[in-house]
Amino acid sequence: MIPYRPDIDGLRAIAVLMVIFFHLDMLAMSGGFVGVDIFFVISGYLITSIIIKDLDTKSFSIARFYERRIRRILPALGVVMLFCIAVSYFLLFPDEFAYFGYSVFSMAVFGTNFLFWKESGYFEPEADMVPLLHTWSLSVEEQFYVLFPLLLILIFKYAKRWRAHLVSALLLLSFAACLWGGAHEKEAAIFYLLPARAWELLAGSVLALSFLPQLKARWLCNALGALGLGFVIYAGFGLNDEIVFPGWGALWPVLGSALLIYSAMNAQTIVARALSLKPVVFIGKISYSLYLWHWPLIVFYKYASPEPLTPAWKAALLGLSFVLAALSWRFVENPVRFGLKVSRKKLFAWAALGSLAFILIGLGIHFGKGLSWRFPEDVQTLSVAKIGAPELKKAQDLHFPGDSFRFGPQGKEPSFIVWGDSHAWAAASALSALADETARAGYLLQLGGCMPSLHKVERFKAECETQNQKAVEFIRDHPQIKRIILIGYWEAYQRELLKTTIEGKPEDADPFIYAMESVLQTLKELDKDVFIVMDAPVVGVKQLPLYLARAKYYGREVNIDMSLKRHLRKMEKLYAIFDELRAEYGFIQIFPHETLCQDGECPVMHDNHSLYYDNDHLSSYGAVYLKEAFRPLFE
């Protein structure tokens, strides 16, 4: 065995606390998600050290390596998964439970990172409501350890002298893939997938390969240790979840943790002594169980309670996480890891049977459509809200980065275009019904998160600029299309554009007005009739259908402030901007709240259906409910 280093357990403690404080929104830990990156570096260092030692002594065994991994990873993971299955059975509504079942199956084959990568689209399940979301990092790690030992065996056999150089080259290649993905807006891929994460594990591996010179001067060790700690602290408090990550920003936690490990290899630094304090080391020892337990507890609280996390509840969840982690470490992790006397063959058989059981349970839940019989039909109806108009056919003749659909009777010449973001798709069921009623044909051109603008906006994805340019080209090439309907989340864009750069914008120009004028001026020159659909009132609950269903099921009162006064107050600045633009460009505005809100209140449900898909998008039912608000678009 390699020598035990208590400071590395201390570093584990920092990593897990950063993650938990980030998830609980405590201590202003805006970059606490980098705790996972620290775990990767530690894992790469320790496990590579073990493999190298065994390879050097010609005692390495693949079977023994995986026996260690099974003893280390599976027992606590299995207990937490059983807990999640049991609680989810009683708590999650059918659609959510079906998705959860697939995540159980994915975890059983260590593939949750692939699941969450593929399901990271605009309208996919909210990340903070997925009980096993945090297991993506375990999947990345285990995928790495399927390949890496085999690679090291080959390197030791055929290129032992070049082992550090080859591993370093792989590190650089992975880091390059990470940067390339970030530059090409593959955020989900570089976050969840191994090729863009391997460099973090390999950073620890390079340390284990003794590639770097040994440090002998104590002052230098202390300086590098302090610098490493500074990098980690900066990452925890200085980064946030709005940046593309991993990427250049990931260098802070990776370099920081690597420096902390490297600086204490040959000397006990001041920082290493602090990390070796018994309370800190204990947190490090239970860090794996702590990581496993904390996230499901947070998610299940959010499911069970309609209220935001209060400081008291945050403290309670933190305390409960520690209690369960300590029990799990004492009675599950340690006994199986160090005390269970069972043959390797039996251990592998038990692991295989356990994995098979979780696979069957997960697939049973998934293909059983979330076992819908667990809840009354009216609660199920309320919990599920659809968005858009599934009956619309895609426009096969249009090739846009976003989605293109055709409204109205087939064979009829299109006379209008709906151009916008996901809010345009949210209104599609009403627009489709009105197009059929009035026998008018048209197109819907939409791309989520993209404001109609002809300027290059830094915070918008590259597809936005392409989508908008193609939309204008299409309008210009089809002079018979006279009516252009713009739909977007205008209030959000008005806020967001204050935080970004717009190419060519004069310093004193209002960013939102500058962005809107690029489209309005072009449409005016093309002599188009322009309609702009304004924002519907925004709900103060992120997942409204689930909130309403839980309130109905548990007999709670629906407590949501949806007053017309509140909406108008929020929109006051935006309306003033549109008044200024309308005076110049002469468009017509549509105000959904005029139809929705009666007697000063704006309802969120009707006839046991949620009018919203989430907090700001209308549901398909809600759009049809507000159909009369959109009728002037077709007159």
Task: Give the pLDDT of residue 508.
Answer: 84
Nearest-CA neighbor of 17 among 41, 40, 37, 33?
Answer: 33
What is the spatial distance between Cα 564 and Cα 541, in angstroms, rounded to a whole number?
A: 16
Is 369 in the same domain as 402?
no
Task: Give the pLDDT of residue 212.
Answer: 85
The Cβ of residue 562 has, within 10 Å, a number of other Cβ atoms equal to 20
Please check whether residue 387 lies inside any domain of the structure.
no
Domain of residue 471: give its range.
Answer: 393-534+577-588+615-634
Q: How many domains does the chain have?
A: 2
Which two structure tokens, joined as six digits, stand for 560? Answer: 């949501």
Is 318 in the same domain as 411?
no
Task: Give the pLDDT of residue 293.
Answer: 98
Task: Give the pLDDT of residue 66.
Answer: 94
CA angle 449/455/458 to nearest 5° reads: 60
Mean pLDDT (whole number) for 187-191:
91
Residue 365, pLDDT > 80, answer yes
Tokens 């839980």 locate to 550
Is 328 in the same domain as 292?
yes
Q: Of 374, 406, 440, which one is at a domain's C-terminal end?
A: 374
Task: Give the pLDDT of residue 243.
Answer: 84
Instruction: Give the confidence band of 123 by pLDDT, cuts at 50, 70, 90.
Output: very low
Is 408 in the same domain as 526?
yes
The Cβ of residue 393 has, within 10 Å, a number of other Cβ atoms equal to 9
Task: Give the pLDDT of residue 394.
Answer: 84
Q: Which amino acid is at 127?
A: A
The share of the chain scoring above pLDDT 90, in percent, equals 72
Nearest-CA neighbor of 486 among 598, 624, 581?
Answer: 581
Please check whether residue 551 lies inside any domain of the structure.
no
**Cβ–Cβ < 8 Å for 581, 517:** yes
Q: Of 314, 341, 374, which one is at a domain's C-terminal end?
A: 374
Task: Give per-residue pLDDT as tens, 291-347.
Answer: 999 999 999 998 887 677 899 999 999 999 999 999 999 999 999 988 888 888 999
Residue 78, pLDDT > 60, answer yes
At residue 621, what are phi and psi to the nearest 5 degrees?
-65, -45
Residue 121, pLDDT > 60, answer no
Please check whether residue 21 lies inside any domain of the structure.
yes
Please check whether residue 610 lies inside any domain of the structure.
no
Residue 103, pLDDT > 50, answer yes
Task: Give the pLDDT of residue 47.
Answer: 94
Please check whether residue 560 lies inside any domain of the structure.
no
Nearest-CA neighbor of 114 among 143, 91, 94?
Answer: 143
Is 398 in the same domain as 356?
no
Please check whether residue 567 lies inside any domain of the structure.
no
Per-residue CA distances from 392 to 34, 70, 403, 411 (Å)? 42, 49, 11, 15
Highest mean pLDDT: which range of 9-13, 470-474, 558-562: 9-13
Highest mean pLDDT: which range of 290-294, 307-311, 453-457, 599-603: 290-294
Q: Which residues contact 390 (CB under 8 A, 6 or more apart)?
A: 620
Task: Give the pLDDT of residue 134.
Answer: 94
Is 424 in the same domain as 358?
no
Q: Of 374, 407, 430, which one is at a domain's C-terminal end?
A: 374
Is 325 in the same domain as 402?
no
Task: Give the pLDDT of residue 19.
Answer: 97
What is the rounded average pLDDT for all residues in the chain? 92
Show contacts of 469-478: CB within 8 Å, 24+ apart. Answer: 470/399, 470/400, 470/401, 471/400, 471/417, 471/419, 471/445, 472/519, 472/522, 474/398, 474/417, 474/443, 474/445, 475/417, 475/523, 475/526, 475/528, 476/526, 478/414
Please check whether residue 596 lies inside any domain of the structure.
no
Is 41 in the same domain as 171?
yes
Task: Give the pLDDT of residue 342.
Answer: 86
What is the spatial distance between Cα 323 and Cα 25, in angstroms, rounded to a whole number?
A: 20
Task: Give the pLDDT of residue 33.
Answer: 95
The share of the chain scoring above pLDDT 70, in percent, equals 99
Task: Give the pLDDT of residue 306.
Answer: 63
Is 63 in the same domain as 110?
yes
Please check whether residue 234 lies inside any domain of the structure.
yes
Is 442 in the same domain as 481?
yes
Task: Give the pLDDT of residue 124.
Answer: 53
Is 370 in the same domain as 414?
no
**Cβ–Cβ < 8 Å for 624, 596:** no
Is 98 in the same domain as 23?
yes
Task: Give the pLDDT of residue 122.
Answer: 45
Task: Give per-residue pLDDT as tens, 267-291.
Answer: 889 999 999 999 999 999 999 999 9
Mean pLDDT (whole number) for 377-392:
89
CATH at residue 432: 3.40.50
